[in-house]
């Protein structure tokens, strides 16, 4: 794919090599790493930014275009570029220029900030020009009320933090009784300095912090740094490059972050976990999601931070974690090493690039071959897209489905030989739940263009939604005859076979999908489900681990916990459930299962608490009241 990242004018000057050379803000660093990772996967990637002087045209596999070259004539720039994907970084203002000049470009904004930020003021007005937004966490995604699709794909760690230790023993040998603070000064450094004035024990603090990270000037944090300098247990290092930061993290045992900023994602926490640090912070914003149950997070009621209470709470957590580190260093190191392995499975830019590719590829194909760009036309079919169909597509993309249906019905009446219109109408009818009508629309599209593999595939999906699984499989096979090795079609066929209770045949189809695309998430996940249903827990566990590495979700962690419980690995099952609940705290089945696991571990008081949490969320959950009563009896020894 031809992908362009657009950083609208800011005070940041950077290219994709900058993160290794000097401090750089999180969003810009993420852009650099993702651009490089996508280029490494064979995509043609371009970065538009305010570039440092002397930046070559191509650097680390990524093309570089100065921002001024785009702003002079954006319409012609995007028309001539005809990119498959345009990614604007936090600023949606460029969206209408992209869509009006290059309608076949999949046009999105990559969101790192919350909807109340000034940079997003125009988002509600311009979302009609966007195909989607991608948010850096599910927490952030859920904060937006939009009519366009929202996807959550997380951030990741800098490459220098990957695979830092090869064993728990090596990790423990590197660690000292040191904490680090490594965020901007205004995000809680003043409180951390106060914590270090109160905390007992011998823990010391390294501060890697400076406004230079965002190349900002005019903000004076000297009072905070002066207070830090007066405490002999604190060492300040200013803003540093990634390699120096990694060296500091390698020595430290804890990341201490009394966060006063609502994080949409927290890269410093990811990198701390990758370096084997215990994260000590609070539960503001996306911190629970980011830390996956591995951190000690102080509850912040209603998002309101009372300074004295906050400092006291973080102080207590620092003292608790120092004691745990000193009491049983070997167990501590084993826990941190397990944490590090999970982070290296999930939070790398190579993995994130694969997730972006899996998200973008079908969308690009839909634009290039489907709703806007016609499939290869039959002899009697015009390739032109009528204005009326374009209007129907626009209405569908902006969530006006009823109006889109009305407009599309008018199009197919006035243009009965337009295969593309029938194909799009079929997809819209499926979206509306009118699957029988959708099958009829796909039939008309296929009659007009018998080579349209996507029409056969979507027809198969509609037939399966009608529980006509054998007919659906036949339609998927027709699609595969036109487009062999299509991972999505192979996976859809696997689903139909699974519903027909043909698990071995379904596995064969999912395996074929993964041979075509090893990162196809649905196929990986379904392999786990099938192996679990067939009583093959080790195979199921491997499949779920791979699926979580591709795109973690509460359901996947929950499924993984169920397999671990079947293997009587109750401590590991509990850890998996805690990760599921860190991603989705209102998950009653997970709380109920957590209670059962805690009972197996003879932790009855905690089990009662888990069952009560499940009851509050879903009082009618089968078995939960009996489970609570049983846990209470065992707690009382009766």
Same-domain status, 385 and 443: yes
Q: Per the domain annotation, does 438 fall within a domain?
A: yes
pLDDT in tens, 157-198: 999 999 999 999 999 999 999 999 999 888 889 899 999 999
For the chain, how many structural domains are there in total?
3
Q: What is the pLDDT of residues 224-260, one digit of tens each?
A: 888 899 999 999 998 888 889 999 999 999 999 999 8
CATH number of domain containing 182: 3.40.50.2000
Instruction: Looking at the structure, tell me whether residues 248 and 204 fall in a common domain.
Output: yes
205 and 330, same domain (yes or no) = yes
Q: What per-residue confidence (pLDDT) applies to 220? A: 61
Q: Are residues 180 and 245 in the same domain?
A: yes
Q: Which domain holds residue 96?
A: 2-152
Are residues 316 and 449 located together in one domain of the fold? no
- Does a structural domain hold residue 514? no
* 221 part of a folded domain: yes
Residue 569 lies in a domain: no
Based on the domain organization, do 73 and 170 belong to the same domain? no
Interior angle at CA 496, CA 492 and CA 499, nearest 5: 140
Phi and psi at residue 208, in whole multiples of 5°? -110, 90
Strands (E), 67-185: 85-89, 106-111, 132-135, 150-152, 178-181
Domain end point (choices 130, 152, 174): 152
| pLDDT greater than 60 at residue 379 | no
Alpha-carbon distance 278 to 253, whole Å? 6
147 and 174 together in one domain: no
Domain stop point among 152, 182, 206: 152
Residue 560 lies in a domain: no
Measured at the alpha carbon of residue 274, what is the angle toward residues 333 and 281, in degrees to the nearest 5? 85
- The token pair at 234 is 């604190």
**Tokens at 102, concatenated:** 């290059």
Q: Determine the Cα–Cα distance for residues 231 and 184; give it in Å rounded to an integer.
A: 20
- Residues 129, 258: one domain? no
Q: Indicate which CATH number applies to the domain containing 48.
A: 3.40.50.11930
Query: 3-class SS at 205?
Result: strand
Does 199 lie in the same domain as 324? yes
Enter the pTM of the model: 0.59
Last residue within a domain, chosen from 443, 464, 484: 484
458: Cβ contacts below 8 Å, ≥ 6 apart? 423, 426, 427, 430, 438, 442
Q: Is residue 498 in some structural domain?
A: no
Could you report the per-residue pLDDT of 97-113, keeping only the tens digit for each?
888 888 889 999 999 98
pLDDT band at 217 (very low <50, low <70, confident <90, very high): very low
Does 26 lie in the same domain as 10?
yes
Instruction: Answer whether residue 373 is part of any domain.
Output: yes
What totals of helices (H) and strands (E) does the chain contain, helices first?
30, 14
**Cα–Cα distances in angstroms (integers) from residue 251 to residues 76, 178, 248, 277, 465, in the given order:** 52, 7, 6, 9, 55
CATH number reported for the structural domain that contains residue 441 in this entry: 1.25.40.10
Token code pair at residue 370 = 């489907």
Whether 587 is in a domain gets the answer no
Are residues 180 and 141 part of one domain? no
Claim to verify: residue 145 and residue 166 sit in the same structural domain: no
Q: For strand 234-236 and strand 204-207, is the pairing parallel, antiparallel, or unpaired?
A: parallel
Tens-digit pLDDT profile for residues 496-534: 999 999 999 999 999 998 888 877 778 888 999 999 889
């Amino acid at each position: 794919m031809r992908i362009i990242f657009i950083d609208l004018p800011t005070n940041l000057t950077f290219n994709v090599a900058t993160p290794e050379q000097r401090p750089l803000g999180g969003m810009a660093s993420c852009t650099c790493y993702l651009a490089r990772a996508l280029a490494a996967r064979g995509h043609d990637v371009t970065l538009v930014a305010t570039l440092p002087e002397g930046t070559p045209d191509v650097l680390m596999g990524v093309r570089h275009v100065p921002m001024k070259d785009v702003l002079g004539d954006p319409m012609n720039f995007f028309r001539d570029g005809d990119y498959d994907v345009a990614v604007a970084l936090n600023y949606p203002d460029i969206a209408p220029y992209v869509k009006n000049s290059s309608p076949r470009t999949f046009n999105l904004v990559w969101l790192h900030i919350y909807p109340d930020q000034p940079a997003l003021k125009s988002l509600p007005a311009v979302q009609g020009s966007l195909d989607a937004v991608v948010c850096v966490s599910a927490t952030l995604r859920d904060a937006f009320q939009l009519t366009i699709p929202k996807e959550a794909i997380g951030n990741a760690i800098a490459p220098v933090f990957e695979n830092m230790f090869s064993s728990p023993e090596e990790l423990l040998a590197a660690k000292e009784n040191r904490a680090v603070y490594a965020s901007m000064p205004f995000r809680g450094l003043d409180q951390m300095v106060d914590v270090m004035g109160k905390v007992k024990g011998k823990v010391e603090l390294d501060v890697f912090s400076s406004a230079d990270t965002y190349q900002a000037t005019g903000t004076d944090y000297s009072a905070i740094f002066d207070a830090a300098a007066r405490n002999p247990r604190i060492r300040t290092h200013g803003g540093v490059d990634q390699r120096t930061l990694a060296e500091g993290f390698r020595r430290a045992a804890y990341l201490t972050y009394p966060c006063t900023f609502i994080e949409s994602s927290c890269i410093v926490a990811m990198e701390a976990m990758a370096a084997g640090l215990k994260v000590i912070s609070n539960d503001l914003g996306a911190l629970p999601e980011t830390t996956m149950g591995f951190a000690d997070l102080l509850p912040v009621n209603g998002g309101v931070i009372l300074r004295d209470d906050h400092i006291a709470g973080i102080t207590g957590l620092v003292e608790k974690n120092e004691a745990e580190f000193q009491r049983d260093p070997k167990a501590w190191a084993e826990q941190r090493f397990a944490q590090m392995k999970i982070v290296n499975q999930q939070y790398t830019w190579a993995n994130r690039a694969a997730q972006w590719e899996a998200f973008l590829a079908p969308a690009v194909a839909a634009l290039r071959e489907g709703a806007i760009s016609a499939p290869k036309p039959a002899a009697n079919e015009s390739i032109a897209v009528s204005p009326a169909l374009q209007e129907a597509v626009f209405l569908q993309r902006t969530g006006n489905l009823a109006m889109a249906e009305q407009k599309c019905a008018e199009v197919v009446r006035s243009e009965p030989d337009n295969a593309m219109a029938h194909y799009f109408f079929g997809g819209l009818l499926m979206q509306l739940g009118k699957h029988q009508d959708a099958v009829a629309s796909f039939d008309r599209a296929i009659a007009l263009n018998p080579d349209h593999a996507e029409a056969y595939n979507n027809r198969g999906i509609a037939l399966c939604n009608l529980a006509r699984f054998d007919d659906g499989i036949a339609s998927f096979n027709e699609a595969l005859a036109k487009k062999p090795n299509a991972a999505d079609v192979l996976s859809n066929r696997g689903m139909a076979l699974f519903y027909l209770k043909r698990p071995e045949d379904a596995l064969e189809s999912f395996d074929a999908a993964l041979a075509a695309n090893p990162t196809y998430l649905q196929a990986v996940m379904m392999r786990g489900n099938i192996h679990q249903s067939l009583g093959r827990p080790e195979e199921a566990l491997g499949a779920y681990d791979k699926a979580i590495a591709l795109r973690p979700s509460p359901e996947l962690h929950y499924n993984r916990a169920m397999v671990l419980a079947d293997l009587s690995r109750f401590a590991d099952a509990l850890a998996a459930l805690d990760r599921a609940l860190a991603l989705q705290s209102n998950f009653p089945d997970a709380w109920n299962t957590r209670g059962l696991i805690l009972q197996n571990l003879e932790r009855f008081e905690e089990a009662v608490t888990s069952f009560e949490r499940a009851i509050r969320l879903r009082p009618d959950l089968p078995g939960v009241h009996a489970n609570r009563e049983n846990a209470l009896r065992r707690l009382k020894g009766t």
